[in-house]
Structure formats: C-alpha cells, structure tokens
Structure 1
Amino acid sequence: MGHENKAKKAHVLIFPFPAQGHINPMLQFAKRLVSKGVKATLVSTVFLSKTTFSDPTSSIDIQTISDGFDEGGYNQAGSPDVYLPTFWSVGSKSLASLIKKLVDAGHPIDAIVYDAFLDFALDVAKQFGIRTAAFFTQACAVNSVYYHVSKGLLQLPLPGPKVSLPGLPPLEVSELPSFVCHHGSYPAWFDVVVNHQFSNIDEADWVFLNIFYDLEKEAVDWMSQFWNVMTIGPTIPSMYLDRRLENDKHYGMHLFKPKTGTCMNWLSGKPKSSVVYVSFGSMAELDVVQMAELAWGLKGSNCYFMWVVRESEQAKLPKNFIEETAEKGLVVSWCPQLEVLSHESIGCFLTHCGFNSVLEALSLGVPLLAMPQWTDQGTNAKYVEDVWEIGMRARSDEENGLVTREIVKHCIKESTEGEKGKEARKNASKWKNLARKAVDEGGSSDKNIDEFVTKLLGD
C-alpha cells in the first residue's frame, strides 16, 4: 500500500449473528483487519455484551445494538419463532441508530462486514451509502445447497435419494443440511438460512468465505460466477497458524467460562496422541438415551477422554458415570478448545462437526470422529470423511436411530488405532500445512484481505 494511503484509517463495522460459532470467526477476521491498519468495530447485542467473557486488552472496539431481548437474548425469547423476527425488526432500527451515532461522533464507516444470515444489515448500509461484504460462516457446500433451494433449483421435499449440484460431490439426502433433508423442521431457521441469506446478496460488494481456496475450490469457482467472492480463512487465532499476530491465542470472547487450568493440567499427564477429545459445541443437545450410549461407548473404548458437557446438559449423564470413569476420563463444562486441540496428548476429536470445530481441527492437524446432530453438520461430516479424508463418521443404527455404544467404541478404536485413523492423521497434517500457507504473508487468503483493505483505502 502506498504511503499516501496510510494517513487515512479505514473503519469497518463487523456484525455477526449473536451465537458463538458466528462471533468467533468474524471477530478473528476483525483482528486481521486491525493488523493491516484498519479500525474495526464489532457489533454485539446488549445482552451478549453484558454476559460474555471478553478480553479487555482487545484491539477491537465493541458497540451494542438491541435484538429486542436485552435482558436474556435468545433464551428470553423462548423460541426461534419469536426471537428471529423480533431481531430482524428491532435490530435493523438499532443498527441504523448505531451507524448514525458513529458518524456523528466522527467515526464514519467505510464498510460493513455482516453475517450473511443478517440480510437486513445490507439494506441498512445502503441507506447510508456504505459498502457491504456478506460473510459466510458456514461451508461453501452448505451455502450452495441453501442457494439452490432459495432459487427453486432444488425442489423440496426432495424427490430422490441423491442430489447432484455443481461444484459438489453427489450427496445422499441424509448428507444435506437438516433444514433441507428434514423439510418442515425448524421453519424459522429455514427462513433465515434459505430466504434471508440470499434475499439481497447480489447487491453486496463482496462475499467473504471463511475457508481457504484449496479446501472447496470447485464450489468457490462456481460461486464466483455470481458474486465478488473472496476466501479469507481459516479465521482462527494467529498463534495457531502463521504466528504473525503476537499473542493472538484466543478469539477474545466466550459465552461460557473455560476451565483452562483443569483441562491443561489433566492433559499434560497423558501420553502423546492418547486422548479422545469430545465436544458438541455451544448449542447441540443430545437426548438422555443418546448421552448414555455415548458415555458407555467412551468407557468401553478404554481410552483416555476429555468430554465437554455444558452445565445445562450434565443432568443427562448416566448416574455415577463420572465416578466410574475417573481414572480414564475428565468431564468439564467448557474448555479452551484451541489449546486443547493443539496439545500433543490429543489423538482425535469426537465432534458434532460444527464448521468452526472442523476448521480448527483441520488447521491443527487433528483427525476427526464425526457425530453430526443438525443444521450444516451432516454435510460437514460428509466432507470430513469422503472429500478431505481427515476422519470418519459414527453412523447411527438404522433400527433405533442411535449412535450406539458399540458403534462409538468401534469408531474410537478405528480412529485411534486403525488404518483409517492413520490415513486421517496423514491427511490432517497435509491440510494443516495448506491452511497455514493460505494465511501466511502472500498466501491466497492473506492476499484477498489485503485487496479488500487496499480497496477501502483507495476510495
């Protein structure tokens, strides 16, 4: 960038959907912008700003808007059918007020990078003549499916057992996002991911993808026919990839407080590659029967395991399970996932296959055992096993729909000791190197971020 541009500091508003899996990648992207001389302001909801555990030393400014539920957020609303339309109505007005406040305070905005879920942000930005970038926090494959549904190119309910879409491998119906393969489930969420995401995206100046090009290049090339697409990921803290952002070890915001000392001390006493790390993220909920099958499968594997069970879920654990597995297992309410995944004692990651978790494991070279639950996770699991070949799927029993304890035990053994596990570890190491190469100086994702910043400064 030329010297004449350095006097001006571009200001970008970062607006994620208020959930951990959406906040983290967009917050990390904001740090990348700051490292390149951009002022970044993260937009949080009033409730989340009061309840999240944030980093006081962060270089990111935080401003708040209302989602209509300032005392309790999503839980106060009670259901997505109440929360989502209220957020769209109240949030759009509140966002417009925030932009006006920042302009009046001498902090005009050059661009808004908004979660693609939040289509109203683009409409608000256009009122102020502000450029926009839609940010996809989910995989290209998943968003391609949603796009085809939104345009009527993929009819629901699905007519056949398989689906073929450009840039994607053939997909079984069960490998499609749950909002599509289980047509009619969660209609409020379906409305967001299908109708809202693509309602006005053609008007966005950029479309950002939280991947690196090699990960889904066929899908990226297909998307590039319609939009000004840029791959800018994986957006995980720099110290786990390129190490160019000093001390950038954490996302900087947590919905739950991690038990860092407990986790890391326990892991430090375990042999290399011996621990199965188990986590189903911040939203997925197993029923009591499935929780028991998973628990006894972990015990039956006779492997060391560290299992994240949120406080709200711990009552579902079998009676005396924690006591009976104390020699081999650790159950915690939350953990610092990146620190855990990067620890040498971790042998594999049993995961719901949320896209952030997949990207983190892939970027750190950790093989996966996929046990998807809903939304995009089934599609992610397909890619984990058959496209990226960095793990395997624990498939549910056809008769009872459960991932039984026998299946859990078998899959853990295969992942940690079998040939599939060895191959997955080798491939995970390959993808780790490609992920780092993408964000290194001059890498594909780094170049795209530079291009975005240069465009902001040049106008």
Structure 2
Amino acid sequence: MEDGVTERGDSEGRFKPHFLIVMYPVQGHINPARRLARRLIHVGGAAHVTLSTSVSGHRRMFPCSSSDDDEEVTDGPISFIPFSDGNDEGTDPGAPDARRRFARTRSVGSQTLSSILDRLAARGRRVTCVLYTILLHWAADVARQRGIPSALCWIQPATVLAALHRFFHGHEGLVAAHARDPMHASFREVFETLDREGPRPRVLVNTCEASEGDALGALEAELELYAVGPLVPALLPAQEVKDARSEADLFAPDEKGYMEWLDAQEARSVVYVSFGSLVVMKKKQAEEMLMGLRESGRPYLWVVRRDSRGSTDQEECPGTEEEEDEEAGGAGMVVEWCDQLEVLAHRAVGCFVTHCGWNSVLESLACGVPAVGAPQWADQGTNARLMEEVWGTGLRGEMDEEGVLRCEELMRCLEVVMGEGERAREMRTRAQAWRERAREALAPGGSSDQSLRAFTAEVARSCMR
C-alpha cells in the first residue's frame, strides 16, 4: 500500500476507493478489464485496483509465478489475485458441457471470491466496489451479501446491451430457438442479476457517446450507464500507454521479427488478418483466406494461433507453415500471436481482416485502420454492422451458405477498402475522423473521461453513506 493512502482516504482526507475487477479468463474479457483498471487509477482516483481471474487464467498470464493459488502479483497500485472456478487446470471455453461448467464456476467461484474479499480486508485493502464482466454475474450477488457496491462491466457494444435488455424484459418468447443455447441462459442470468440490484443498476460500457449515443440513450431510464470507452491504450495519454506495455497476456507474442518485417513494407500496403483469441478457423475458410491473400498480390501479416491450426477434423490449416509463405514469394508472414495494437498503429498496415470482436473493432477504430469484417458469432454481426453502416469505416464481407468468406469475396473487399477508388478514400477519411472522436472522448473533459469520474464519485458517495 502506498504511504499516506488508506481504504478511507489519502493524506489529505480524500476518499480513495479500492476496486476489485472480476474477469472471465479469456483475452477478450481480460483486455478491457485491465485497461479499465489503468483508467481507474489515472482518472478515477482509485487507491488500488485488484484484478481477479481464474487460477488457470492467472497461471497463463504469470507463468513464472508459483503454483500457490493465493499468490498475489503486484504492479504498483494494480494487483492480480486469482479465484478458483473449479477448473484450475483450465477448460476449453468452447467445451460442450457449458451449462455444467458455468454452474460449477458460480458455485466454487462465489466461495473463493468471498475468501478473497476477506484476505484483502485483512491486508488493509478493504474492497469498496466490485466490478465484473459478462459470465461472472454471480460476483454481484457476493458483493451484495456483503454490502459492497457493484457494477457490471459490459464489454460488448451498447447496441447489443440495449437489444438484450429489451429482449429479456418482455420479448424473450419471440425467439424460442435460443432457449437451448447455453449463452442464452448466461445472458438471461446477467439481466436477472441486474434486476436484483434494484432500480437503475450501474453498468460501465466500453463505448463512447459519439459512437453509440442512441443506444445509450435508449437505456437511460432503466440503467445507470457510464460510457467509459473506447478502452484502447492507443487513445490514452502517454503515461497510460507506457503502463499498458507491461501487461501480461494469455498468449505470448511470436518471436518472429514481424515489426521489422512491417518496417520493410510500403505505407498502407499490408493486410493484417486476425480472428482473435477464440475462433478456430475452419479448414475451408483457411484455404479460401490463403488463396485470397495470395491472389490479391498484397503483403499480409496473418495471425494463426497454435491451438487453431487444426479444424474440427484435426487437419492442419493451410498457410500456417513458413515454407508455404516462401512459395508465395515472401509476400506474407504468419505468426502465432502478436501485439495487435502495435501492428495496427504501424504505417504499413492498410486493412484489418477481422472476426469483428468488439475489442478488435475498437482497436481498428482507435488506430484509424479500415477493416473487412467476417463475423463469426455473438455480438460480432452487430459490430460489423456498426463498422460498415453507422461509422463507415469498413466493409462486411458476404459469407457463403457455409459461413465461409470465399477467396473472390475477400479479394473484392480488399480492393474496395485498399484501392484508390472514392469509397476507399472515404473509408480512410472516416476512419481517421472516428479515431479523433474517440480520442476526444477519453481526453480530460471528454464525455468518457467525465463519465468515469462520475462513476467513481458515485461509488465514493455510496461508501460514505
């Protein structure tokens, strides 16, 4: 603990809260949670932020730490301490027994999270607010039982939040096909948890007024919303960007010299391809992607994770071996993982072919890079629509009946986005304009900056009552 700072105030008597952020152990949840933690320290006046994910996720983030489940890793005013979800050796998030796994996570996780609150209090860092990401809604129940304020960290667009809120409040019967989907039950439980919190429960949303003002406005009467994004380091002040560089990921960046390779490419010439941390690309999709990239004649940097190098029939994805790259005349580079923000910010990158995960969409927006979308599931279709129809910063590829982005369609999209036509020029202009709007929202006095300050002030008032 820093000298002169306690859970009740600093040396001048000002209240300094301690936030506990409970995050699901996948990269798409961890990234915004960590970035929010930095913002709470730099902008929100927090004395300390503790990030908690599952034991298995914690071990992947900090492989050099001991196997002691109680071990706390500290980085200045931010620390990491794991909770057990009953699957400490790790479980594939896409495993078929999702319902049983979520139930076990809730049961075991509630107990271990409660013990974490006890341990932190015993160490002189009593938690004053619990924040939780999607799929860990039970953390709010643990907090409420202890009289601790809580808030949901919504890591998808406000547009999806508005649609799901409406769906689960009077319109659930309209789409009966979702009833057997494990994710349907999980989202329903999120909104049931919010309803138990009373009128207008607190929700932090990773977006800004400029990009989704209508969706945020549609929920004002039901939820106490705080638009605090986009939570992307590239948009933040220099000190926050510097701090973010030391963050640990679930995946280690490839040791290939991909940044040096980018340095050798012409400006806006490279196609960057990544389908995130969860998507396992179908063999057919990988084949079409490889053909499209090669036949486009453009240099490409393609992220293919080691755990996605086989389709459901365990056949190796094409295009993932260096010898194939060499056969193509050295036009492309394939890596297992990379620093996506560093890549997108590079002058050589002219297009991002993405699965349209919300983090990836926001990162392309933050770096002013137009995108080609190939959405796979969940919120990604909505994200692609926002990108193409609302912001005008990208193009959604047309998938075939098997859900595959074919070679010819990829080539068409790349030409539209990276060519010299009027639409390509307009996309690049709009991408740059939206980058500046997002930066303004996070700047001192901007809408997201003010929203985060309002949230922490409300938490302080709740704790002092």
Bin the TM-score by the shorter chain: 0.7 to 0.9
* Aligned counterpart, 2:318: 317
* Aligned counterpart, 2:220: 224
* Aligned counterpart, 2:405: 403
1:370–1:394: 8 Å Cα contact kept in structure 2? yes
Counterpart Cα distance in 1 of 2:409 and 2:159: 27
* Aligned counterpart, 1:107: 125
* Aligned counterpart, 1:296: 291
**Structure 2 segments unaligned to the other structure (5+ residues):** 1-8, 64-72, 310-315
The one-letter code of the counterpart of 2:162 is S
1:295–1:321: 8 Å Cα contact kept in structure 2? no
> Shift of the alpha carbon at 1:261?
5.6
Does 1:352 pair with 2:341? no
The one-letter code of the counterpart of 2:191 is F
* Aligned counterpart, 2:111: 93
Does 1:33 pair with 2:40? yes
Q: 1:212 to 1:413 in 2, by over 3 A?
A: same
* Aligned counterpart, 1:48: 57
Listed as ranges, the matches of 1:376-395 within 5 Å are 376-395=379-398
> Shift of the alpha carbon at 1:432?
0.4
The one-letter code of the counterpart of 1:351 is T
* Aligned counterpart, 1:272: 267
* Aligned counterpart, 1:207: 203
Does 1:81 pair with 2:99? yes
Q: 1:444 to 1:131 in 2, by over 3 A?
A: same
* Aligned counterpart, 1:171: none
> Shift of the alpha carbon at 1:106?
2.2
* Aligned counterpart, 1:177: none
1:58–1:252: 8 Å Cα contact kept in structure 2? no
Counterpart Cα distance in 2 of 1:121 and 1:114: 6
1:309–1:333: 8 Å Cα contact kept in structure 2? yes
The two structures have a TM-score, normalised by structure 1, of: 0.88
Counterpart Cα distance in 2 of 1:276 and 1:246: 25
Counterpart Cα distance in 2 of 1:224 and 1:29: 22
* Aligned counterpart, 2:229: 233
3-state SS in 2 of match to 1:290 = helix
The two structures have a TM-score, normalised by structure 2, of: 0.87
* Aligned counterpart, 1:308: 303
Q: 1:286 to 1:3 in 2, by over 3 A?
A: closer
> Shift of the alpha carbon at 1:53?
4.9
CA displacement 1:22-68 (0-9 Å, x = unmatched): 11101111111112431100012111111125897464111111010
2:208–2:228: 8 Å Cα contact kept in structure 1? yes
3-state SS in 1 of match to 2:192 = coil
> Shift of the alpha carbon at 1:136?
0.3
CA displacement 1:334-372 (0-9 Å, x = unmatched): 000000000000001000000000001101111111011
Counterpart Cα distance in 1 of 2:275 and 2:59: 25
3-state SS in 2 of match to 1:65 = coil
3-state SS in 1 of match to 2:156 = coil
Given candidates 333, 338, 343, the residue that maps to 1:340 is 343
| Identity of matched residues, % | 35
1:111–1:132: 8 Å Cα contact kept in structure 2? yes
1:368–1:391: 8 Å Cα contact kept in structure 2? yes
Given candidates 363, 372, 375, the residue that maps to 1:372 is 375
Counterpart Cα distance in 1 of 2:79 and 2:10: 25
* Aligned counterpart, 1:413: 415
CA displacement 1:118-138 (0-9 Å, x = unmatched): 221111101110001111000
Counterpart Cα distance in 1 of 2:180 and 2:303: 26
Q: 1:323 to 1:190 in 2, by over 3 A?
A: farther
Counterpart Cα distance in 2 of 1:251 and 1:139: 27
The one-letter code of the counterpart of 1:189 is M
Given candidates 11, 26, 35, the residue that maps to 1:19 is 26
Q: 1:412 to 1:90 in 2, by over 3 A?
A: same
1:392–1:415: 8 Å Cα contact kept in structure 2? yes
**Structure 1 segments unaligned to the other structure (5+ residues):** 159-182
Counterpart Cα distance in 1 of 2:303 and 2:76: 27
Counterpart Cα distance in 1 of 2:161 and 2:93: 27
2:365–2:431: 8 Å Cα contact kept in structure 1? yes
Q: 1:77 to 1:369 in 2, by over 3 A?
A: closer
2:209–2:216: 8 Å Cα contact kept in structure 1? yes
1:134–1:208: 8 Å Cα contact kept in structure 2? yes
Deviates more, 1:351-360 or 1:145-154: 145-154
1:241–1:435: 8 Å Cα contact kept in structure 2? no
3-state SS in 2 of match to 1:248 = helix
3-state SS in 1 of match to 2:369 = coil
* Aligned counterpart, 2:66: none
Given candidates 150, 153, 159, the residue that maps to 1:135 is 153
> Shift of the alpha carbon at 1:96?
1.3
Counterpart Cα distance in 2 of 1:425 and 1:185: 41
Counterpart Cα distance in 1 of 2:84 and 2:186: 19
Q: 1:326 to 1:308 in 2, by over 3 A?
A: farther
Counterpart Cα distance in 2 of 1:58 and 1:190: 39
Deviates more, 1:20-29 or 1:80-89: 80-89
Counterpart Cα distance in 2 of 1:12 and 1:371: 36
Counterpart Cα distance in 1 of 2:295 and 2:456: 53
* Aligned counterpart, 2:175: 157
Q: 1:439 to 1:240 in 2, by over 3 A?
A: closer
1:391–1:421: 8 Å Cα contact kept in structure 2? no
3-state SS in 2 of match to 1:234 = coil
Deviates more, 1:112-121 or 1:405-414: 112-121
